[in-house]
Structure 1
Amino acid sequence: MGSTFGGYSIALTGMRVNQAALTVTSHNIANVDTAGYSRQVIAIEETVNDPTSSNSVGTGATVAEIKRARNQLLDNTYRQQNTEVEYWASKSGTLDYLQEILDEFAADDGSADDGLQQTIQNFFDSWDNLASDPSSVSSRQSVVENAASLLDTLSQIDEQLQSLQADACTAAGDIVDEINDIASQVSALNLLITKAEANSGEASDLRDQRDDLLDQLSAYTNFSSQEASSGMVSVFIGGVALVNGTKANSLSISGDGSTANPLQVTWTSTQTTAKITGGSLKACLEDADQSGFSAISDTDNYNFTATATSSISTLRQGLNDLITTIANNINSLHSAGTDLDGNTGLDFFVVVDASQPLSISNIQVNPEITADVNKLVAGSEGDAGDNTVANAISSLLDEKLFQYNGLSQDLTGFYQSVIAWVATAGSNAESAYDVHSTLATQADNQRQSISSTSLDEEMSNMIKYQSAYSAASRVLSTIDNLVGGMIEELG
C-alpha cells in the first residue's frame, strides 16, 4: 500500500508544479506589453526519497526556482551605449539649434535685408557711398543706421546664444534632481528585494523596476553597478557610491557657467566634484560653460580657434571676434581723422557699460555721433570732399584682419569659416549619435530577444502545462478509483 499512497504524492506534486508553471505563464502573458518587464522562467526538478541511497526512488517534482530571463552583460552594454547616445543627442541638438539661429539671420541669396552677412555688406557699402559724397547728410545717416542694424543683428544672435546657455544650466539642474530621485528609488527597491528574497525566490518584478531605473539613469550620466550576494545593487559615479545598499547619496549643482562661477556638480555630503564623463548631464555642463568666451582687448589679429568646451561659447567668441575686430580697426581710423566741424574724430563704436570691455554684448554706436552726424569722420583733414577715412574703412572688408586656426582671412572668409565650423561640428555630432544609437539598438534587441515575452511561446507553454496538469490529475483520480475499489472489495 506504501507505493500506492506514494503515487498520490507524486501525482499531487505534478499538479502543483504545473499549476505553478501555469501561473508563471499567465503572468508573462499579462505583462506582454509592460515596459521593462522581463519574461519569467520556471525551473522544475525531480525529487527523490533519499538522494544518498543507491535505492532512492523518485517522489515526483518540485519548483526549483522562478527567475527572470535576463543577461547582465547585455544590460551593461546597452547602458554604456545609451550614455553615449544621450550625450551626442544633446550635443547634436545644440549644434542644430545654433545652425537654426544662424539660418534665421542668413541671406542665402545675398539679398535678404536681415541676413547677417548682408547686414555686414550693407554697413561697409554705406561707407563706400559716404566716400563718394563725404559731406552728404543722408550718406552719413545711412552709415549710422547700418551700423546700428549690424549691432542689433549681432545682439539678437548673442542674446539667443546666452539664453541657450541659461537653458543648459536649468536642464543640468533638472537632471541632477532626476538622478537623486532615481538613487532614492533604487535604494528603496534594494531593501524591498532583500526582504522579499529572504523568504522566497527571486523578486523578479521588483528587480525589473530597479533595472528600468538603471536604464533611465544611463541616459543622464556614466555609472557602474555591482550586485551583492544579498541582491542589493550598488551604483557608482566616478568611483563614488551614488547608491550603497539601502543608502542613497545625493548630488548638488551650483554656479551659472561663467568663468567666475562655473557650473559644477558635487557630492552633497563631501562637496567634492562628481566625475561626470557621459550622458546628457555632461552635455549640459559643457554647453553651459562660458569660459570659452572672453573680451578681445587689443587690435592685433586675434587667433580664433574652435576649441572651447562649449560649442555655444565657441560661436559667441567667433562673432565677438568679428565685431570687436571690426570696431577696433574702425575706431583706429575714425579717431585719427577730422570731422566736418574740424574736431579730432571720436571712436565710432563705444561701450555701453564703461566698467566692462568692448564686446558683442557691450557695444554701441557712439551716442555723440548718433546725435550729430557732422561728428562722423570721412576724411583725415575734415574738408568737405575729403574721403580718405571713409575709403580706408570701406576697404577693411577685404583686408585680412582675422585669423582662424592661424590662417589669415578677410571678414567674409572668416564669417564663412565660423558658419562652416558649426555645420561640420553638427554633422560630426550627428554621425557619432547615429553610430552609438545603432550599437545601443543592437544591444537592446539582443537583450529583448532574451527577456521579452513571446505570445506564441507562452501559448505553447500554457498548452503543455495544462496537459501535464490534467494528466497528473487523471493519475490521481485513477489511483483514487483503484484504492476505492480495493477498499470496497475488502468490505
Structure 2
Amino acid sequence: MSLMSSLYVGVSGLQVSQNGLNTTGHNLANVETEGYVRQQTVLQTSQYRTIGQSYISPMQLGLGAETAAVRQVRDIFLDKSYRQELGRRGFYDSQYETVSEIENLMGELEGVAFQDSIADFWKNLQELAKEPDSLVKRASLVETSVGFVERSENLFKQLRDYQLNLNLKITNTISRINEIGDQISSLNDRICAYESNRVEHANDLRDTRNKLLDELSQMITITYRENADGRVTVNAEGVPFVTEDLTHHMGSMTVTQIRQRQLDEDEFNSTGMMENSDMLIPIWPTYGNVEVFNRDLIPNPVDNSDIGSLKGLILARGTKVAKATDIPIAPNKDNYLDEFGDLKEDEYNLALKDYKEAVKTYNKTIEPSIVMSTQAQYDQLIHGIVTKINDILCPNKEVVIAAGTTIQLSNGDTYTYDKDTVIKIFDDENAPIGINGEGGTELFSRKSMPRYMDYQEITLANGDTILAKIYNEEDEANNYSLYTVGELVVNQEMIEDKSKIPLSQSSNTGDYDIKTTERLLKAWQEPFATLSPNTLTKSNINDYYNALIGGIATTGERYHTIVKSQEGMVTSIDNQRQSVLGVASDDELTSLIKFQHAYNAAARYINVIDQMLEHIVTRI
C-alpha cells in the first residue's frame, strides 16, 4: 500500500469517528426529550482496490472505513404491541370516565341523593295510610310527589345532556384524528425530500411521525406500512386513511341524517324524527359516507375490536335517548289463556319469539351502552312507581269491544274497530273516590295526553251498550302517550284541591277506603320488574333502585380493573421499548469515549504517515 493511500485510510477513520461523536452528542442532548429514539452510527468498510491476483484470491487494498447509516434503534414488534394495548386502554378508559360521571349524577342531585326522594315518597305513603283524612298528610304526599317528579326529570335531563355533551368529545377526537393524518402526510413529504439523496436519514422527523402514530393508535384502530421512499401509509378501521399522496378525512353525521340516507322519503317520514337527532356518528365522506364503525358488532378482545377511545366514546354514549320501552318484557302466560283457561299456544309462541328478538336487539344496542342502559332502567323505575300508584287510585278493567264500534279519540279524531278487541276502561265500580265524591283522578298525569277519553257509549262484544271512559293506552311509538320521564306532572287538580285524592269508598258512605291505602303500601313492596331481560330476579321499588346503583358501580369497577390492567400492560411494553429505543447516558458516555479514542488513534496514525512521508521527502 502506498503512503498516500494509507493517509486516506487515516482520514476515513477521522471522519467516521467524528460522525460517531456527533451522533452520540445528539443522543446525550436528547436524553429527556419525549419521543426521541436513540440513534446509532453504523460503520462499514470502504471500497477496495485490486492490485493483482494471487493463486487463491484477488490482491486487494482497503481504503479505510465509512459511515453506512445513522439509524434509529427500534423494535417494530414492540411498537405494534404498544400501540395495540394503548388503543385498548383508550377504549376502556373512555367508558370508565362515562361510568364515573353517571355515578356522580346518580349519587347526588343538587346536593340531595335521588334515593332520598324515593325514601320520602315511601315515608309519606306510610304516614297517609295512618291518617287518610288528614289534609296535612295529603298535602305532604302531593308536595313530595311534585318534588319526586322534578328531581327525577332533572336527573334524567342531566343524563341526556351529558349524553349529548359527549358529541363534543367525539367531534374533538375526530378533529384530532384528521389533524394527525395531515401532519403524518406532511412529514412523509419532508422525510422523502430529505432522504431523496439516499445519504441522509431524517431520524428526528421520523421520531415526530412515530409519536403521532402512538397518539393516533390510542384513538382508533390503525395499521401502517413504510414503503421504500420512507412514506408511511396508514389504514384506520380497515380503510385507507393516509395514502402516499393525501389524507382521507373523517367526518360525522347525525343519526337522523344516516337514517334519512338509508330509508326512502316515505319510509323515513312514516317513522318520524328521532328524539336523538343530534347524536353524531363518524363517517368517511371520501368513501360514500360509510360509517367508520360497524354498529352491528359488539366490540370484544377476542378479535381485537375493543380498541380506540373514539369507539369507546360512541359505545358508552349510545345512539339515542333510551326509555323504559327499550327494555323487553317477557310475555305472561296468563295473558294468553282462553275462556276455558287453556293456553293459546300459537299466540303465546309468537309473542315469545318477538320477545327473544327484542332481547337480541337490546343486548346489541342498549346493554353495551352505559348511558342508554342507565336511562332505560331509570325510566323503568319511574314508570313502575307512577303506574303502580295510578292503577290503584284510578283502576282500569278490561272489556271486549265489538267490531264496527266507532269511538272518539282524545284529539277529536274518530276510530272504528275492525274486529272484537280487548280494551281498558275506567273501573268506576271498584275505584276509590275523593271526598267530593268524584273518582277517576290519577296522581301522576301525562303532560300531553289525558288518562281517559271522555265518557261515551260503546258496544261490547256481548251486545251490551255501556257508558265508559276508555283508557288512552301507552304507545311506545308515541312518546307523548307514555308515563315516562319528561312527560310526567302531578295532577293539577290534586295540587289545587287535596280532597280529590281518591281515598274514600265508592259506596258514598264517607268512610275512608282502608284497602286502597293498604294496596298502596303493598304495591310499593311487591316486585314489579327485572333490571334488564338478562336478569331473572324481579325487584320491588327500593331493591330495584339499589340494584340499578349497584349495577352501575359494578360496571365502573369492572372498567376500572380493566383500565388498571391495561395501564400495567402498556407500561410494561413501554419499558421494554425504552430499553431498546431510550437513551441511556452511561451507554452514550461509553460510546463517546470509544469514538474519542478512535479519533485520537486515527489522528496519531496520520501523524505517523506524515512523519514517514516527511522522512522520505527530506532524504531524496
Supply the distance in 2 between the matched residues of 1:103 and 1:313 (Cα, whole angstroms).
18
- Once superposed, what is the RMSD of the aligned Cα atoms? 2.5
Supply the distance in 2 between the matched residues of 1:401 and 1:77 (Cα, whole angstroms).
49
Instruction: Provide TM-score, normalisation by structure 2.
Output: 0.74
Shift of 1:115: 3.5
1:275-331 deviations in Å (ceiling 9; x for gaps): 375211011111221447124499988999885231011111111101111111211
Supply the distance in 2 between the matched residues of 1:292 and 1:50 (Cα, whole angstroms).
80
Would you say 1:373 and 2:498 are equivalent positions?
A: yes
Supply the distance in 2 between the matched residues of 1:298 and 1:458 (Cα, whole angstroms).
64
Give 1:293's aligned amino acid. A
Supply the distance in 1 between the matched residues of 2:203 and 2:37 (Cα, whole angstroms).
8
Count of residue correspondences? 483
What is the match of residue 267 of structure 1? Answer: 284
1:339-354 → structure 2 map (5 Å cutoff): 339-354=434-449
In structure 2, which of residues 562, 565, 570 is the aligned counterpart of residue 432 of structure 1? 562
1:236-264 deviations in Å (ceiling 9; x for gaps): 12221010113100000122696763531
Supply the distance in 1 between the matched residues of 2:435 and 2:328 (Cα, whole angstroms).
27
Supply the distance in 2 between the matched residues of 1:386 and 1:72 (Cα, whole angstroms).
79
In structure 2, which of residues 311, 317, 327 is the aligned counterpart of residue 288 of structure 1? 317
Instruction: Provide TM-score, normalisation by structure 1.
Output: 0.92
What is the match of residue 460 of structure 1? Answer: 590
Give 1:406's aligned amino acid. L
Is the contact between residue 188 and residue 230 of structure 2 (CA under 8 Å) also seen in structure 1? Answer: yes
Would you say 1:118 and 2:116 are equivalent positions?
A: yes
Give 2:584's aligned amino acid. S
Would you say 1:78 and 2:82 are equivalent positions?
A: yes
Is the contact between residue 377 and residue 390 of structure 1 (CA under 8 Å) also seen in structure 2? Answer: no
1:3-38 deviations in Å (ceiling 9; x for gaps): 111111011000001001111111111111111111
Comparing 136-145 with 429-438, greater Cα deviation is found at 429-438
In structure 2, which of residues 166, 169, 182 is the aligned counterpart of residue 168 of structure 1? 166
Give 2:179's aligned amino acid. D
Supply the distance in 2 between the matched residues of 1:223 and 1:125 (Cα, whole angstroms).
56
In structure 2, relative to structure 1, the CA distance for the partners of 1:222 and 1:308 (3 Å cut) is same
Supply the distance in 1 between the matched residues of 2:176 and 2:569 (Cα, whole angstroms).
25
1:3-402 → structure 2 map (5 Å cutoff): 3-50=2-49, 54-104=58-108, 114-199=112-197, 200-255=199-254, 261=277, 262-269=279-286, 270-275=288-293, 277=305, 278-291=307-320, 293-296=322-325, 308-335=367-394, 336-354=431-449, 356=480, 357-381=482-506, 383-402=510-529
Structure with more helix by fraction: 1
In structure 2, which of residues 526, 530, 537 is the aligned counterpart of residue 403 of structure 1? 530
Supply the distance in 2 between the matched residues of 1:379 and 1:279 (Cα, whole angstroms).
61
Comparing 226-235 with 400-409, greater Cα deviation is found at 400-409
What is the match of residue 338 of structure 2? Answer: none
Would you say 1:417 and 2:512 are equivalent positions?
A: no
Supply the distance in 2 between the matched residues of 1:100 and 1:177 (Cα, whole angstroms).
28
In structure 2, relative to structure 1, the CA distance for the partners of 1:301 and 1:149 (3 Å cut) is farther
Supply the distance in 2 between the matched residues of 1:85 and 1:300 (Cα, whole angstroms).
35
Is the contact between residue 180 and residue 251 of structure 1 (CA under 8 Å) also seen in structure 2? Answer: yes
Supply the distance in 1 between the matched residues of 2:497 and 2:19 (Cα, whole angstroms).
94
Shift of 1:217: 0.3
Would you say 1:489 and 2:489 are equivalent positions?
A: no
Shift of 1:146: 1.1
Supply the distance in 1 between the matched residues of 2:200 and 2:86 (Cα, whole angstroms).
31
In structure 2, relative to structure 1, the CA distance for the partners of 1:301 and 1:328 (3 Å cut) is farther
Is the contact between residue 434 and residue 503 of structure 2 (CA under 8 Å) also seen in structure 1? Answer: yes
Supply the distance in 2 between the matched residues of 1:73 and 1:91 (Cα, whole angstroms).
28
Percent identity over paired residues: 25
What is the match of residue 610 of structure 2? Answer: 480
Structure 1 stretches of 4+ with a deviation exceeding 6 A read 256-259, 297-306
Supply the distance in 2 between the matched residues of 1:91 and 1:260 (Cα, whole angstroms).
20
Give 2:158's aligned amino acid. Q
Supply the distance in 2 between the matched residues of 1:373 and 1:15 (Cα, whole angstroms).
102
